[in-house]
Chains A and B, each alone.
Chain A
């Protein structure tokens, strides 16, 4: 409002004649400076050095047979994407650190150096670029994370009735109880059959109702990528569909007293036939 008023009241001022080059031109000029190029080249080099290093570290995740579910696959994918996004910024910062020691001048000695450095108090283009890029990256990571979380939540707390549409595999419900220092798995759909090893059918959604008898534990099905605290006096829920036959690990991820370290058990993911015969042999009712 005031803007329009101002423009009507005062005649438009002539464009200030200036020899100061426009921003894009300034960036071009800047890129011609030798140190700027060297820092950027160093950034690329460090980036390509960091990439395989990170890959190597992240490979540790698959040591015992992960991912054994879509959730774990999503998690690994997210970690890879985050690593890719973080590497350029990290590499740039490391490049500046390195170049400040190797490229720009370096002095030693006991007396403060007499030669002063250029007094760069700010740089509008640099600040805008940095803020813009870092905000965009943060925004990207947030959006990626929110979508991923919504997906995983839909997979782990899916409503049971929706899953029992014709053609959908029937879901399995397992009540998980933590107590110092063992896990107990109860199968309410099979006459309340209980087990201290987690048997799961392949390719069928499994929903867990998790609680604790004493202190807080945390139910972590490592290779399946799910984790939820077992709280005394409350039931928490999660769920997963295993897509790989094999033996995996359940560990307690919350310090729960003296033998916390030993509070672990196995997950055995079996084909439907194998799961049914395990249920039969253990005395439970066969799935309808």
Chain B
């Protein structure tokens, strides 16, 4: 290729630097696209697709059980139309479409897409800046948590009103299914989305993510998936729990399509986000940031991405097969025509268990990341923290069948799966050791983020110990499918996961918004929620021990008392969460202005100014020391070490 003489140059520090050649003109329609045009595109294409499908489908279309297929086809077309139309309307396909016509995103357009000089409008656009994507993830997560939390309140209201049936059984079943999957999606992105995108590139000293446009794509795919999930509630709902076991799911109304397409879309979003985060972490760490100088939070996010990347395809395949059973009359999971229900269970739990660690590990990493800052001492045994995370990742894919002890799939397999599951307690034990070792003799600066970590470790211990019970096959024979399981995983996913995410949000709030999270209101909210949480789920353990099955809306009167207490606790959680939300909103609007480093942290993300400029750092940083270099030498240990060193040298031993 000949050198293009017409290449533009630009003077940088007095040197003429040739600029990359631009293909095509800047600007055009892509600068007019935003969330609003996305909605228009989505609703428009959904309407057109639904209408066309309704016309071309013969009204006599039916499946082998003579159920009419027209609603299925129309709803499927509407959902696909929505997703494609929304992504088209918001500008997700601008790059590929330009390639088709021989153009590319020019430098000006790339800057425009990064939200340069756009002010607040950039939060409503297909913006590639990782900080904007982080904030967008935060808002999306909070909306999803609010929706699923509202369903939780309705569920507890139904269970608390033992004298009446508030909802119909099918609507109740649809609520528990939607609550479950919405919470799972929200919790998977709760730390990795907002903090993984906003903080990780700054923490490793990079200017942005490795693939900024894919970053925006992963976020907006998640946003596109949420209305599909909510719409399913109006199409008969997901009446089969979040696990939508087959063949029950094939009996469900067409709302199941909403679930299946949500999962298929969300799995794509997760895969893109995971690859992006992993590439960023692997290739874009600052000069000098060796693996032993990389903060533990980065390890946590990397581990979660890795697990998400291998686990989600199983879930996606299971839903594609389920969709095919429903729409194309195949029978992967239909035992009447030779399908297998155990196939579905295996595919589902191959996601289901790693996904738990996708939620827990980032929250544990948040805890380990902020403890050194507030205790003013280094992380106790960085190597053990890494070993703990590596151990969990290594075992995460080998334990899925402990959800299937009682299915009769392979009774002999219960022995190895019990072994692998209980082995998980060893790497998790490493993480606990690092936590208590860091607390050891530390002067606690008891601000809100650190206080939340006390709550996280408390809940994680209870969730962990009850997890050991459940990993034991004989004990699981009593607990499986009971309220005990529900209480256990809420301790892990909410008690450890959500409270950990709240700690992370409180910690990084000054960097993300430029303001300090209101300490008093935030603490009141956090501890109210914490107390409500203990009331709700302790009495749910009791209900499980008494023998109450899960996912029931009516039950024996012997379970009444524990359910009443549980419902009261749930309302306390609700109030606490609303107070915490109020703290977030008021502090975001009018909180105290934070300096660039209000916590006195030594980590890279706090060394740049707040609000963070477009490319994070004026000059890329170089890392010269280990993370968490806080603290003074331990007088006792220092004395011993010095003596040791001295004697060793005298003896001539190297």
B433-457 Cβ-contact flags toward A at 8 Å (1 or 0) = 1001101111111110000001001
The one of A64, A74, A256 in contact with B547, judged by C-beta atoms closer than 8 angstroms, is A64
The one of A105, A126, A222, A228 in contact with B443, judged by C-beta atoms closer than 8 angstroms, is A105
Contact A220 B458 (CB under 8 A): no
* Chain A residue at smallest Cβ distance from B592: A110
- Chain A residue numbers with a CB within 8 Å of B653 are 13, 16
Docked CA distance A157–B549 (Å): 25
The one of B382, B545, B634, B647 in contact with A57, judged by C-beta atoms closer than 8 angstroms, is B545
Contact A112 B599 (CB under 8 A): yes
- Chain B residue numbers with a CB within 8 Å of A110 are 598
Contact B335 A234 (CB under 8 A): yes
Q: Nearest Cβ distance between residue B261 and chain A, in whole angstroms?
A: 22
Contact B173 A255 (CB under 8 A): yes
Beyond A74-B474, A75-B477, A145-B472, whether A233 also contacts B415 by CB under 8 A is: no
Contact B429 A261 (CB under 8 A): no
Query: Restricting to A194-224, which residues have a CB under 8 Å from any CB of B?
Result: 210, 214-216, 218, 220, 222-223
Contact B241 A255 (CB under 8 A): yes
Q: Is the interface of B mostly helix, strand, loop or mixed?
A: helix
- Chain B residue numbers with a CB within 8 Å of A64 are 546-547, 558
- Chain B residue numbers with a CB within 8 Å of A234 are 335, 341-342, 408
Q: Nearest Cβ distance between residue B262 and chain A, in whole angstroms?
A: 19
Docked CA distance A70–B237 (Å): 42
Contact A233 B475 (CB under 8 A): no
Docked CA distance A237–B407 (Å): 10
Contact A119 B647 (CB under 8 A): no
Docked CA distance A249–B624 (Å): 66
Query: Quick check: is B619 within 8 A (CB to CB) of the other chain?
Result: no
Beyond A79-B469, A231-B407, whether A96 also contacts B477 by CB under 8 A is: no
A57-69 Cβ-contact flags toward B at 8 Å (1 or 0) = 1101101101000
Contact B423 A231 (CB under 8 A): no
Contact B631 A75 (CB under 8 A): no
- Chain A residue numbers with a CB within 8 Å of B541 are 57
The one of B247, B384, B635 in contact with A215, judged by C-beta atoms closer than 8 angstroms, is B247
Beyond A58-B545, A64-B558, A149-B415, whether A253 also contacts B481 by CB under 8 A is: yes
Count of A interface residues, CB-CB < 8 Å? 98
- Chain B residue numbers with a CB within 8 Å of A141 are 422, 468, 472
* Chain B residue at smallest Cβ distance from A121: B378
* Chain B residue at smallest Cβ distance from A233: B335
- Chain A residue numbers with a CB within 8 Å of B634 are 118-120
Beyond A16-B647, A146-B418, A233-B336, whether A97 also contacts B406 by CB under 8 A is: no
A81-123 Cβ-contact flags toward B at 8 Å (1 or 0) = 0100010001011101100110011111111110111111111
Query: Quick check: is B25 within 8 A (CB to CB) of the other chain?
Result: no
B594-638 Cβ-contact flags toward A at 8 Å (1 or 0) = 000011100000000000000000000000000000111111010
Contact A251 B377 (CB under 8 A): no
- Chain A residue numbers with a CB within 8 Å of B631 are 116-120
- Chain B residue numbers with a CB within 8 Å of A94 are 458, 461
Q: Nearest Cβ distance between residue B369 and chain A, in whole angstroms?
A: 16
Docked CA distance A233–B247 (Å): 11
Query: Quick check: is B353 within 8 A (CB to CB) of the other chain?
Result: no
Q: Nearest Cβ distance between residue A228 and chain B, in whole angstroms?
A: 6
- Chain B residue numbers with a CB within 8 Å of A262 are 554
Contact B380 A121 (CB under 8 A): yes
Query: Quick check: is A189 within 8 A (CB to CB) of the other chain?
Result: no
* Chain A residue at smallest Cβ distance from B626: A121
Query: Quick check: is A138 within 8 A (CB to CB) of the other chain?
Result: yes
18 contacts between A and B (CB under 8 A): A16-B653, A20-B643, A57-B545, A72-B478, A90-B465, A104-B443, A107-B443, A116-B443, A120-B637, A123-B381, A126-B433, A127-B384, A134-B429, A138-B425, A145-B474, A216-B247, A258-B169, A261-B551
The one of A75, A79, A119, A229 in contact with B377, judged by C-beta atoms closer than 8 angstroms, is A119
Query: Quick check: is A18 within 8 A (CB to CB) of the other chain?
Result: yes
- Chain B residue numbers with a CB within 8 Å of A57 are 538, 541-542, 545
Query: Quick check: is A52 within 8 A (CB to CB) of the other chain?
Result: no
- Chain A residue numbers with a CB within 8 Å of B251 are 214-215, 257
Docked CA distance A258–B168 (Å): 9
A227-258 Cβ-contact flags toward B at 8 Å (1 or 0) = 11101111011000000000001011111111
Contact B377 A142 (CB under 8 A): no
Query: Quick check: is B153 within 8 A (CB to CB) of the other chain?
Result: no
Query: Quick check: is A35 within 8 A (CB to CB) of the other chain?
Result: yes
Query: Quick check: is B513 within 8 A (CB to CB) of the other chain?
Result: no
Docked CA distance A225–B377 (Å): 50
Contact B547 A116 (CB under 8 A): no
Known: A130-B433, A135-B426. 14 other contacts (CB 8 A): A94-B461, A100-B439, A112-B600, A118-B441, A118-B632, A119-B378, A121-B381, A130-B429, A134-B425, A210-B408, A220-B481, A223-B547, A251-B547, A255-B551
B95-124 Cβ-contact flags toward A at 8 Å (1 or 0) = 000000000000000000000000000000
Contact B335 A231 (CB under 8 A): yes
- Chain B residue numbers with a CB within 8 Å of A35 are 441
Docked CA distance A67–B473 (Å): 17
Docked CA distance A58–B473 (Å): 18
- Chain A residue numbers with a CB within 8 Å of B462 are 90
Contact A104 B474 (CB under 8 A): no
Docked CA distance A61–B483 (Å): 13
Contact B442 A79 (CB under 8 A): no
| CB-based A-B contact count at 8 angstroms | 309
Contact B547 A126 (CB under 8 A): no
* Chain B residue at smallest Cβ distance from A119: B631
Query: Quick check: is B648 within 8 A (CB to CB) of the other chain?
Result: yes
Contact A60 B546 (CB under 8 A): yes
Contact B443 A117 (CB under 8 A): yes
Contact B239 A257 (CB under 8 A): yes
Contact A145 B418 (CB under 8 A): yes
Query: Quick check: is B552 within 8 A (CB to CB) of the other chain?
Result: yes
The one of A117, A152, A225, A260 in contact with B630, judged by C-beta atoms closer than 8 angstroms, is A117
Beyond A233-B335, A253-B482, whether A149 also contacts B474 by CB under 8 A is: yes
Docked CA distance A262–B247 (Å): 20
- Chain A residue numbers with a CB within 8 Å of B170 are 258
Query: Restricting to B396-438, which residues have a CB under 8 Å from any CB of A?
Result: 406-408, 411, 414-415, 418-419, 422-423, 425-426, 429-430, 432-433, 436-437
- Chain A residue numbers with a CB within 8 Å of B125 are none
Contact A127 B407 (CB under 8 A): no
Query: Quick check: is A3 within 8 A (CB to CB) of the other chain?
Result: no
Query: Restricting to B536-568, which residues have a CB under 8 Å from any CB of A?
Result: 538, 541-542, 545-547, 549-556, 558, 562
Contact B454 A101 (CB under 8 A): yes
Contact B481 A96 (CB under 8 A): no
Docked CA distance A91–B112 (Å): 56
Contact A145 B473 (CB under 8 A): yes
Query: Quick check: is A17 within 8 A (CB to CB) of the other chain?
Result: yes
Contact B418 A127 (CB under 8 A): no
Docked CA distance A253–B555 (Å): 13
Docked CA distance A119–B378 (Å): 6
Docked CA distance A74–B342 (Å): 28
Docked CA distance A10–B624 (Å): 39
Query: Quick check: is A40 within 8 A (CB to CB) of the other chain?
Result: no
Docked CA distance A109–B241 (Å): 46
Query: Quick check: is B35 within 8 A (CB to CB) of the other chain?
Result: no
Query: Quick check: is A153 within 8 A (CB to CB) of the other chain?
Result: yes
Contact B482 A119 (CB under 8 A): no
Docked CA distance A129–B486 (Å): 34
- Chain A residue numbers with a CB within 8 Å of B444 are 100-101, 104-107
The one of A17, A225, A256, A260 in contact with B647, judged by C-beta atoms closer than 8 angstroms, is A17
Query: Quick check: is B179 within 8 A (CB to CB) of the other chain?
Result: no
Beyond A112-B600, A229-B408, whether A253 also contacts B549 by CB under 8 A is: yes
Query: Quick check: is A14 within 8 A (CB to CB) of the other chain?
Result: yes
Contact B647 A216 (CB under 8 A): no
